[in-house]
Amino acid sequence: MTTPEVGEGTGHARYTYRLRVSSTAHSALTAMARKAADAAIGATKQALLEMGRKHGRDVRLVHPTHTTMDCATCGARTKHALPLSERTYTCTACGAASPRDKNSARVMLARAGLNPAGIEGIRPSGAPLPEAA
Q: How far apart are CA 111 and CA 67, in angstroms?
A: 10
Whether 46 shows a pLDDT value over 60: the answer reads yes
Of 16-20, 42-46, 73-77, the range with the lowest mean pLDDT is: 16-20
Same domain? 46 vs 66 = no
- The model's confidence at residue 55, banded by pLDDT at 50, 70 and 90, is very high
4 part of a folded domain: no
Average pLDDT of 62-69? Answer: 88
The verdict on 66 and 54 lying in the same domain is no
Q: Residues 77, 51: one domain?
A: no
Up-side HSE of residue 17: CA atoms within 13 Å toward CB? Answer: 2
Query: Which residue spans within 7-120 are E strands per DSSP?
Result: 13-17, 88-90, 97-99
pLDDT of res. 18: 55
Has residue 39 been placed in a domain?
yes
pLDDT tens string 100-125: 999 998 999 888 888 766 555 555 55
Distance between first and last Cα of the chain:
63
d(CA 95, CA 73): 9
Domain count, the chain: 2
Q: Is residue 53 part of a domain?
A: yes
Q: Is there a single domain that holds both residue 81 and residue 114?
A: yes
Asked if 38 and 66 sit in the same domain, the reply is: no
* CB-based burial label for 107 (10 Å; 0-12, 13-18, 19+): buried
User: Does the pLDDT at position 83 exceed 60?
Assistant: yes
H helix or E strand, kind and range, residue 100? helix 100-111
Same domain for 78 and 38? Answer: no
Same domain, 70 and 102: yes
Domain span at 84? 60-119
Residue 79 lies in a domain: yes
3-state helix, strand, coil in the chain (%, to 5): 35, 15, 50
Chain segment 17-43, per-residue pLDDT in tens:
555 555 555 566 688 888 888 898 899
**pLDDT exceeding 90 applies to what percent of the chain?**
27
Higher per-residue confidence, 54 vs 30: 54
Question: Same domain, yes or no, for 53 and 94?
Answer: no
- The C-alpha atoms of residue 64 and residue 104 are separated, in whole angstroms, by 9
Is the pTM here over 0.85, yes or no?
Answer: no
Same domain, 97 and 109: yes
